Structure 1
Amino acid sequence: MILPRRRTAALPGDLGRPLLRNAYSLMAGTGITAVLGLAYWVLMARLYSPEDAGRGAALIAAMRLLAGLTSFGFVGSLVRFIPESGRATGRFIWAIYLAGSAAAVLLTIGFLLTLPMWGPSYSGIDPAWFLAAAVVWCVFTLQDVVLAGLRRAYWVPVGSVAFGLAKIALLVALASAAPRDGVFLSWVIPTAVALVPVNLLIFTRLVPRHVRETAGVPPPPARRVGRFLAGDYLGTMFNLAIVYLLPVIVATRIPSETYAYYNSVVVLCGMLDMLSLNMATSLTVEGAFDRTTLAANLRRALTRIMAILLPVVAVLALFAPFVLSVYGTAYTDNASALLRLMALATLPRALVELYLGALRAQSRARRIWLVQALMSVLVIGSTLALLPVAGITGAGVALLVSQAAVALVVFPGLRGTLRPPARSGLPGEGAQAA
């Protein structure tokens, strides 16, 4: 079901405004989080002992991993179906919150039951508080996606600023008052507090407004939502294998010093990949609101994301040693080639992510997980093959070649989606079940 457009005639510039407003808001939130996050970690290293800092960082990493493995699987369904949920929008969001929280609880309980396997950093953990923290982070992750699905992502940078500053302030305040748990508490407490005002905004103002704007649109059948969720969740797990599992695999196969070089580049290029993911999220939202605008919005999204990425990638490729010099000469000597390769890999990755965003707007869940499964197998498999031969530079070659191969595979589908839909004059043309 495609939502009726409130204006029958839109200028090309008007057509892309919601897409770009949502995308740029999400990108701004990502940038703010990165900058304030860097300040947070620098202060942590200066204010806390290595033991307390390491323990806090380990707890945060475990919490984010457990919540991420559950919440990220629901992101695609939120941005796909919020636009057309109509009067059931509030119930749909609550259902996703509950499903994500339940999955986080189950996964975290499994983690807590196997604590002795995870090393000394997790000894003495309070199970109840850690379980609550994982659930809180799961909902915290999903609420930004809800704002995007409601076309109100401009609230995301506001929340990012408030959350980032609150973390830093609490980190400083707890350095002397509670040094052992200060790092973890400075992260969790602002997260829990942020849930209240943001979700009050969502459910008391934004959802009622969305329901009024989409009056008369019947909610999608539960079977269609469930079928899409199953396929998209599976695809997300393949994608998370690249994000979370691959670094762990690499860490087990190279010295810790070399892994430090590798990780610094992964973090840097991961921020570039987030820009493409943000644009793809906005593309899904707009395509779900009106399928007939998908081709035009996809063209606009491709143009804008390449306008952002190309100059950044060019700078990283040309001046990789200079960029890495902020970490020290050892990073410059050992990771410059890796940075060039991983930066170049973000370009074909952008094509793939935008294609996946278009597929979500079309509810093509089977193709989504097939593309992500192919990408996961190629990236992880080629990295395992080249890492022993060429070290971390081989990992960069593996990523670039794999992403380029997947981009070539999806290119025919991407080109077909870029074509404007045929006009038949029928209302709701282009609607498609999974």
Structure 2
Amino acid sequence: MSEVSSLRRSRGGSRAAARQMQWQSPVLRGALALTLNSAASAALGLLFWTLAARMLPVEQVGLGMATVATITTVSNLGQLNLYLTAGVMLSGSRRPRRLVLELSGLATAATLLIGTGAAVFWAVTGVGGELVTGGPLFVLCAVGWTLFALKDGLLVGLRGFAAVPALNTIYGLLKIGALVLMATSLDGRSLVTATFAPVLIILPLAAWLMFRRTQGMESAATSSSGLDRRFIGVDFVGSVCQQISTTLLPFLILVWSGAHAAGIFAVVWLLVVMLDTLAENAGVPLASEAAREPHQTRHLTGMISKPAFGLVLAVVVATLVFADMGLNFYGTVYAADGALALRIMALASLARCYSVLTLAVVRAERRATIASAIEAVHLVVLFGGAAALVPVHGVTGMALAWFVAQLITAAACWLARPKGRR
């Protein structure tokens, strides 16, 4: 009996040791850090928009959210999808500091070009007349947001995981503070100012942390990987499709259904984006670590997929049950007009989680053409469905188009998945 007990203890100890080693893996530590980041950002973001919804008319919330979403769309296009792929290029680089500067400069130049083009186009055509911020200030906000968002991907690629939630928590607190300070003259423009002004404080801190992380890394690097322009260029095509089909949706609602529907969708979209971020938290470190250790890709994918799907499923179930209660915090009109749309879009997050993880592996293997093709499928299906449904069904129509697009995109990811991978 004593031998049997010893054997059981030994097996139990081995399993415990294996679990401990697994949770020490960079891919899980990165996912955990980004999940904590999302939790803190979600809580602070919810507080920010709850205050805004309570203090402003629905129409002003819609105008402010549409402007913020349009600025972030331009910014995300200018990032060239480097938030997801910076870790792939930083893995094993012999000159990480130089590569960080090159990636930041490339993203800044791209954002300046895209933002200036958008500002000029709207000035000539009047298409962006609904937005509360334009001209040089619009471009400046987009550039600042590009560098702010890119810092997370760079820090993950440098394995500076703990800095990501710390910096974004500081940002969230500063954003709420700015909103409170402007309470006496609050409108849609104030929401834009409160969203982007704190970036000026966070960026110097991020630059200092990245400088510290790159010290001593050059001698420890194992390869000479650097700025892969072809990979960035091909993947950028997919990034354009992905960004247009996500962050531009509040603007489309504003154009097709008016300011009231845009205000309702602003809150629904905010909650759905927070939910989808849970999957992205797993995808970013997965792409980075799978590129760093390609022979471990299948093991890393299996390690991260179970907790990622479990977490997303738990939040989806909670959203389905408590959608009305959650939206009531913003006001009864949000619950009445947005609860069904929130439930539909939350269900779609399960399919989106699978797509995000599959595309992370595809990008780690530098199969950028496949990733871009899948993102193009998502864009075509979503916009086709939205054009047909939103003018008739408003916010619910956009939710239905989003749901169908996620199902078809997940099917495309399943067909394109690496051979031998689940």
- The TM-score range, normalised by the shorter chain, is 0.7 to 0.9
Structure 1 partner of 2:8 = none
Question: Structure 1 residue 167: deviation in Å?
Answer: 2.8
Structure 2 partner of 1:218 = 224
358 and 172 in structure 1: CA distance in 2 versus 1, 3 angstrom threshold: same
Q: For the residues of structure 1 that align with 2:130 and 2:414, how far apart are their CA atoms?
A: 47
Q: For the residues of structure 1 that align with 2:27 and 2:37, how far apart are their CA atoms?
A: 16
334, 342, 346: which one pairs with 1:343?
346
Structure 1 partner of 2:275 = 272
Contact 1:359 1:368 in 2 (8 A): yes
347 and 58 in structure 1: CA distance in 2 versus 1, 3 angstrom threshold: closer
2:158 is matched by which residue type in structure 1? Answer: L
* Higher mean C-alpha displacement, 274-283 vs 106-115: 106-115
Q: Identity rate of aligned residues, in percent?
A: 27
Normalised to the residue count of structure 1, the TM-score between the two structures is 0.81
Question: Structure 1 residue 278: deviation in Å?
Answer: 1.5
Q: Secondary structure at the match of 2:247?
A: helix
193, 213, 230: which one pairs with 1:206?
213
1:371 is matched by which residue type in structure 2? Answer: I
105, 108, 112: which one pairs with 1:98?
105
1:120-199 aligned within 5 A: 122=132, 127=136, 130-173=138-181, 185-199=193-207
Structure 1 partner of 2:129 = 119
13 and 369 in structure 1: CA distance in 2 versus 1, 3 angstrom threshold: farther
Question: Structure 1 residue 219: deviation in Å?
Answer: 2.4
Contact 1:26 1:278 in 2 (8 A): yes
1:248 is matched by which residue type in structure 2? Answer: F
Structure 2 partner of 1:431 = none
Structure 1 partner of 2:95 = 88
Contact 1:325 1:331 in 2 (8 A): yes
Unaligned runs of at least 5 residues, structure 1: 1-9, 420-434
Q: Secondary structure at the match of 1:119?
A: helix
Q: For the residues of structure 2 that align with 1:54 and 1:336, how far apart are their CA atoms?
A: 17
Question: Structure 1 residue 37: deviation in Å?
Answer: 2.6
Q: For the residues of structure 1 that align with 2:312 and 2:294, how far apart are their CA atoms?
A: 27
335 and 175 in structure 1: CA distance in 2 versus 1, 3 angstrom threshold: closer
Please give the per-residue CA displacement for 1:369-403, whole angstroms capped at 9, x wherever unaligned: 01111111112212323445655434333322332
2:129 is matched by which residue type in structure 1? Answer: G
Question: Structure 1 residue 159: deviation in Å?
Answer: 0.5
208 and 313 in structure 1: CA distance in 2 versus 1, 3 angstrom threshold: same
Q: For the residues of structure 1 that align with 2:417 and 2:107, how far apart are their CA atoms?
A: 31
Please give the per-residue CA displacement for 1:309-341, whole angstroms capped at 9, x wherever unaligned: 112212222343333333444444433332222
Q: For the residues of structure 2 that align with 1:241 and 1:120, how far apart are their CA atoms?
A: 18
Q: Does 1:108 align with 2:115?
A: yes
Q: Secondary structure at the match of 1:418?
A: coil
1:70-89 aligned within 5 A: 70-71=78-79, 73-85=81-93, 87-89=94-96
1:4-403 aligned within 5 A: 11=18, 13-15=20-22, 17-43=25-51, 60-71=68-79, 73-85=81-93, 87-113=94-120, 114-115=122-123, 117=126, 118-119=128-129, 122=132, 127=136, 130-173=138-181, 185-203=193-211, 205-214=212-221, 216-220=222-226, 225-387=228-390, 391-403=394-406
Question: Structure 1 residue 303: deviation in Å?
Answer: 0.4
418 and 30 in structure 1: CA distance in 2 versus 1, 3 angstrom threshold: same
Q: CA RMSD in A?
A: 3.3
Unaligned runs of at least 5 residues, structure 2: 1-16
131 and 217 in structure 1: CA distance in 2 versus 1, 3 angstrom threshold: same
Q: Secondary structure at the match of 1:152?
A: coil
Structure 2 partner of 1:414 = 417
2:38 is matched by which residue type in structure 1? Answer: T
* Higher mean C-alpha displacement, 181-190 vs 270-279: 181-190
Contact 1:84 1:288 in 2 (8 A): no
Q: For the residues of structure 2 that align with 1:327 and 1:176, how far apart are their CA atoms?
A: 20
374 and 61 in structure 1: CA distance in 2 versus 1, 3 angstrom threshold: closer
* Higher mean C-alpha displacement, 157-166 vs 405-414: 405-414
